[in-house]
A and B are shown apart, each in its own frame.
Chain A
Amino acid sequence: MSSSPSLNTWSDALSGFSIGWFPLGLVIVAVIPLVFIALYALTYGVYGERKISAFMQDRLGPMEVGFWGILQTLADILKLLQKEDIVPTAADKFLFVIGPGILFVGSFLAFAVLPFGPAFIGADLNVGLFYAVGIVAIEVVGILAAGWGSNNKWALYGAVRSVAQIVSYEIPASIALLCAAMLAGTLSMQQITVMQTGPGGFMHWFLFNNPIAWLPFLIYFISSLAETNRAPFDIPEAESELVAGYFTEYSGMKFAVIFLAEYGSMFMVSAVLAVAFLGGWASPLPNIGGLHLNDMTSGPAWGAFWIIMKGFFFIFVQMWLRWTLPRLRVDQLMYLCWKVLTPFALIAFVLTAVWEIYR
């Protein structure tokens, strides 16, 4: 692992690969995050969510299919594939069909700028962090299309609540990420990660190498829960009030696509959090004396391992919180966003600026 290839040598070689005029490599590069979301959401996401929620409630969860129910999600997929594709008669056919598509595209567009290790990043944009925050806007339109197209009052209420929530929480989330951008002095995701690497391991991460970063870290984590509609901010899909929110009318593969989009954006916000404050693909282990733990656990493959593990850790925390905290009311949600998180995000912004100038 000592020889580390320069950034994107692999992916550049791949994207340059083409058969005749057809750029096959470009298509493959775009498919990688798609396959990743699908695999992770199907295996870790759904199975993990069910197992974790089962253990938190002192149950066993799925146990029938395979050892400890490990093939349960495959069985679910077979079921979802076989299901009849129902479009309600009163629904707006076009919007009903296109809604999940826009939602899914919106949720996985941000994967383009996630750095998976020192040697792989989809697109090392110089506005990467801004792009990752901003591209969520497309997801919002998909939610509205799904909610309106269903022609169901619960679905419409769910969609409107969800969009209001996502648009509001984008503000504290963006300000919190701006603090990380200020600490790094760049918006490129790869550069932000590189700024947090070093022989000290976790001590170089923004969360630990300055006294302020815990505040934007917490603010972004809370806002990211709201942006992905996770509990305690699952008001848009509150089962006890709205049946299932904006995807009430969906079944079969369309439901699966919405589900994949949700798990995709859960991983995305977790990975952005890891990149902004926890060193992205940087190894947490420090070099201790003659024991070069950090050097041993760095490199392209280890980098991918670390960022995926950090992402999974925060997904675990999201699931953990789901079974710990009760759901907020709508007014409490808006109170939290506008009167607590936004002012504190601004304070964190000013404090970070002062720290950057006077340290």
Chain B
Amino acid sequence: MNQLTIPIIFYIFAAITVLSAAFVVFSKNVIYSAFSLLFTFFGVAALYVFLSADFIAVTQVVVYVGGILVLLLFGVMFTNTIMQTELKADVLHIVPGVLLTLVLIGGLLLAFYNASAAGQWMPGMMQLQGSVVERIGFETMSRYMLPFEMVSIVLLVALLGAAFLARYDKAHKKEH
């Protein structure tokens, strides 16, 4: 493949991600913000592919686009008078906001500077070889067994809680 092609594709995806993320924040219309998130998530997934993390990229699409974005859109669509509501923050903290942004940018630039001064980015613990999926499966079932199981229990409890809250309550219905 052409030397120039990969950077061009990368910058296209980076631009899509940043511009759509900016649109999510600055748009006055909630629906447009929600739909704009699609392009943000998609762009981030594409950036994962550039880091040769295929599995994470696909998981990003499945979880964020297929799950969270759809949930968000449903929530927005079922809210009454969503088109009339004008989004406006009552309190604007300009000075702390700008300060926080400057600190964040400074920190990131410092990290970049240190990394390029040292001549390399932080190297990975082990070199990737072949399929990443097998490696991920192996690690979750061995070294990260406990966190993995804990996450599964937390998710199960959350599911049960949601089902309990959403359940059709017969006794409650009779009172009304």
Chain A interface residues toward B at CB < 8 A = 15-16, 18, 21, 23, 26, 92, 94-95, 98, 102, 125-127, 130-131, 133-138, 140-141, 144-145, 148, 156, 160, 163, 167, 170, 186-188
Chain A interface helix/strand/loop/mixed: helix
Interface pick from B14-22, B64-72, B93-101, B144-152: B64-72
Q: Which one of B54-62, B110-118, B164-172 contacts A?
A: B54-62
Which residues on A sit within 8 Å (CB–CB) of B130? Answer: 126
Are A167 and B66 closer than 8 Å at their CB atoms?
Answer: yes
B47: chain A residues at CB < 8 Å are none
Contact among B2, B5, B38 with A141 in the assembled complex (CB-CB below 8 Å): B38
List 7 other contacts, CB 8 Å, given A141-B73, A145-B35.
Answer: A21-B5, A127-B58, A137-B67, A138-B61, A140-B65, A141-B35, A148-B77
A/B interface sample: 27 pairs, CB < 8 A: A15-B1, A16-B1, A18-B2, A18-B5, A23-B1, A23-B2, A23-B5, A94-B32, A126-B133, A130-B133, A133-B62, A134-B61, A134-B62, A134-B66, A136-B66, A137-B61, A137-B66, A137-B69, A138-B38, A141-B65, A141-B73, A144-B77, A145-B35, A148-B77, A160-B77, A187-B131, A187-B133
A160 cross-chain contacts in B, Cβ below 8 A:
74, 77
**Contacting pair B66 A127 (CB below 8 A):** no
In the complex, the answer to whether B55 meets A127 with C-beta atoms within 8 Å is yes
Partner of A92, one of B5, B31, B70, B73: B31
List B residues at the A interface (Cβ < 8 Å).
1-2, 4-5, 31-32, 35, 38, 42, 54-55, 58-59, 61-62, 65-67, 69-70, 73-74, 77, 130-133
Q: Do B31 and A95 touch across chains, with their CB atoms under 8 A apart? A: yes
- Please name all residues of chain A whose beta carbon is closer than 8 Å to the beta carbon of B5 when the two chains form the complex: 18, 21, 23, 26
In the assembled complex, the Cα of A138 lies from the Cα of B64 at a distance in Å of 10
Chain A residues with Cβ below 8 Å from B67 are 137, 167
User: Which residue of B32, B62, B132 is within 8 Å of A137 (Cβ)?
Assistant: B62
Closest to B6 in A: A23
Give min CB distance, B27 to chain A, whole Å.
Answer: 11
Inter-chain CA distance A16–B38, complex, in Å, is 31
Q: Return chain A residues, CB-CB under 8 Å to B32.
A: 94-95
Distance in Å from the Cβ of A179 to the closest Cβ of chain B? Answer: 16
